[in-house]
Structure 1
Amino acid sequence: MRPFFAQRRLLCRIAWLLALVSPAWASTQTYSFAVEPRHTPVQMGMRWTPLLDRLETETGERFLLRVQDKATVFEADLSRGVPDFVFLDPYQMVRAAEAHGYMPLVRGGAALRGILVVEANGPVQSLKDLAGARLAFPSPNAFAASLYLRALLAEREGLCYTPVYVGGHGNAYRHVRHRDVAAAGGEAATLAQEPASLRTALRVLYTTPEMAAHAVAAHPRVPSEAREKVRRGLIALNGDAAGRKLLQDAELGGALSADFTRDYLPIARLRIDAYRVEAGGAP
């Protein structure tokens, strides 16, 4: 028995010594990184996994990508402050800042514009032609493609229509092409990523005013050093062709530093909360 206990004491001492000199990777925290489900989970994974792999190299931090198949699940996680880092739209940025103190780190360099598309050679020539029609939107609370766009159509244009929520920008565009709806909400950036055969089948009928683009934000529990490394790491990707492609694929092209007051506070003043649909609520 004595040799057994001696070996056990020796192993415990070795473990204690290893803990004192353990390499950095052994104690590195893995941060959750959630992304708004603008496309299918597979597509979002293909867009974001390479970027986070590169960001790990740039920062020395570790990230776990969280991709949800439904916007409502993503929004529920965000409302509870679950993600450490998150890619989110401007309206979600405002709500996350108010609820949990999330801080924007970087945003896409191009302005965000919501669009309403119709068949390129179809009969719809003006918004008046859509009175009483079915209009597709990615989800109720997708900011530029649905929430802001619906508010403008109702408040500014006085249009009455029936909204249909189809679970993604690509789905919304294809509903128009297949003539399941008369028009669909989306974004100029997501339409530009669709195949040419789909883009040429559609025509932009209406456009929202420009706004600051989607942001990568951090929960205040994330140490300031880690936040700053992520901010610098994402902006540094602009420095080479491979990095720029990663940013573009993730819809963060031309990433630059974000400022809440400058970029997102104006969105808080739009007063579009009346058009928000809570999880499980009726549109």
Structure 2
Amino acid sequence: MLNMEENLLKIVVKKTIILSLIFLAGGCGQRITTQQETEFDLKKNQGTVIGNCAGSNSAKAKLRTLSIVPQFSASRIHSDYWPLLTEIGKRANICFKLDQQQSIPSFERALKEGSIDYAFMNPYHQVMVNTKYQPIIRDKKRLLTGIIVTNRQSDISSIKQLNGKTLLLPAPNAFAASLLTRAYLDKKNISFKPKYVKTHQNVYRGVARNSDFMGGGVNNTFNRENNELRSNLDILFETQGYPAHPFSARRELPLKEIQNVQTIWLEIAKEPELSSLFDKVQIKIPIEANYAKDYARLQHLGLEKFVQ
């Protein structure tokens, strides 16, 4: 009888031990799974943050909005500027969130509202919003000129032939492409039908497709187009040159931060191994920009009558 009770006790103990081990194993497995899920969520969240802004991914990095005047498609702007912004942001402990506007007028509204921290804007935009933004970087050598292009297969050989015809323009307040060219045509008493097509890319492609059209653009964007497209176009007229687009900072930002970003631009430009970062942006040789020296004189060109 005693042996039977001992055997039963052993069986109960064994079952209890087995059940305990199963429970513990299940609990450990649950804890491991929960930890793995937490780590996955952190990585996923970090990836989202990093993916949305260019630069430092440090928890202490400052998030700043940045917008680039939409002369090209948003996808092209993103691919052209992202590598340089990433390098600047890492050194400045800033993460730049690209706030790309769909059109030049919407870009202008954002500037006037002061809702963007840093912006690459056209020279006359800088005049329009100088109380809110200060230019900090511009290109050393490249001057910006307005151009009027024609289809190479057309019979247009004189600017006077534009009289009464359609002129494709990116936007009313595009500095060289629209304001300078319209001012010149006004002086020559040439009337035309403006058609605003949002970007410089659209201007050049529209003229290439239709030999009856002419289009307003700028030397810098024209030179960045592919050879095949440019081979279908001729430059009929070119304006005087002016200091090109500045990279500007909102004046309300900390002065130390603005100066640091400016210094980093100039430092990167001195490093030969990073020269490729400037290949696709419109500031090949960065130098300090100065409003009084570079852009103030644009106020005296009489362009305000053409601003819309």
Partner Cα distance (2:232, 2:273) in 1: 31
Q: Does 1:238 align with 2:269?
A: yes
The 5-angstrom pairing of residues 29-40 of structure 1 reads: 29-40=62-73
Which amino acid letter does the alignment assign opposite residue 71 of structure 2? Answer: R
**Higher RCO by CA contacts (8 Å cutoff, separation 6 or greater):** 1
Which of these residues, 126, 135, 145, is aligned with residue 104 of structure 1?
135
Report what 1:66 is aligned to.
99
Classify the secondary structure of the residue corresponding to 1:249: coil
Classify the secondary structure of the residue corresponding to 2:65: strand
Aligned length: 251
Report what 1:119 is aligned to.
151
Classify the secondary structure of the residue corresponding to 2:126: helix
Partner Cα distance (1:244, 1:204) in 2: 30
Q: Does 1:173 align with 2:212?
A: no
Q: Report the CA distance between 1:186 and its aligned residue.
A: 0.6
Q: Report the CA distance between 1:248 and its aligned residue.
A: 3.4
Q: Does 1:132 align with 2:164?
A: yes
Cα deviation digits, residues 23-48 of structure 1 (max 9, x gap): x9434321111111111111111112
Partner Cα distance (1:85, 1:180) in 2: 39
Q: Report the CA distance between 1:233 and its aligned residue.
A: 1.3
Q: Report the CA distance between 1:71 and its aligned residue.
A: 1.4
Classify the secondary structure of the residue corresponding to 2:242: coil
Report what 1:280 is aligned to.
none
Which of these residues, 190, 202, 212, is aligned with residue 221 of structure 2?
190
Cα deviation digits, residues 79-109 of structure 1 (max 9, x gap): 11111111100000011114x2x11100122
Please say which structure displays the higher CA radius of gyration.
Answer: 2
Unaligned runs of 5+ in 2: 1-56
Cα deviation digits, residues 216-264 of structure 1 (max 9, x gap): 1111111111101111111223223453332231211111110000100
Q: Give the TM-score, by structure 1 length.
A: 0.85
Partner Cα distance (1:93, 1:242) in 2: 32
Aligned residues: CA RMSD: 1.6
Which amino acid letter does the alignment assign opposite residue 307 of structure 2? Answer: R
Partner Cα distance (1:180, 1:164) in 2: 15
Which of these residues, 232, 237, 240, is aligned with residue 206 of structure 1?
237
Which amino acid letter does the alignment assign opposite residue 297 of structure 2? Answer: P
Pair 242,33 (structure 1): closer, same or farther in 2 beyond 3 Å: farther
Q: Give the TM-score, by structure 2 length.
A: 0.78
Unaligned runs of 5+ in 1: 1-23, 278-283
Classify the secondary structure of the residue corresponding to 2:59: helix
Q: Does 1:42 align with 2:75?
A: yes
Classify the secondary structure of the residue corresponding to 2:279: helix
Which amino acid letter does the alignment assign opposite residue 255 of structure 1? Answer: P
Which amino acid letter does the alignment assign opposite residue 118 of structure 2? Answer: F
Pair 231,131 (structure 1): closer, same or farther in 2 beyond 3 Å: same
The 5-angstrom pairing of residues 70-85 of structure 1 reads: 70-85=103-118
Which of these residues, 229, 241, 250, is aligned with residue 281 of structure 2?
250
Indicate if the aligned counterparts of 1:244 and 1:254 stay in contact, CA closer than 8 A.
Answer: no
Q: Does 1:149 align with 2:178?
A: no
Q: Percent identity between the aligned chains?
A: 27
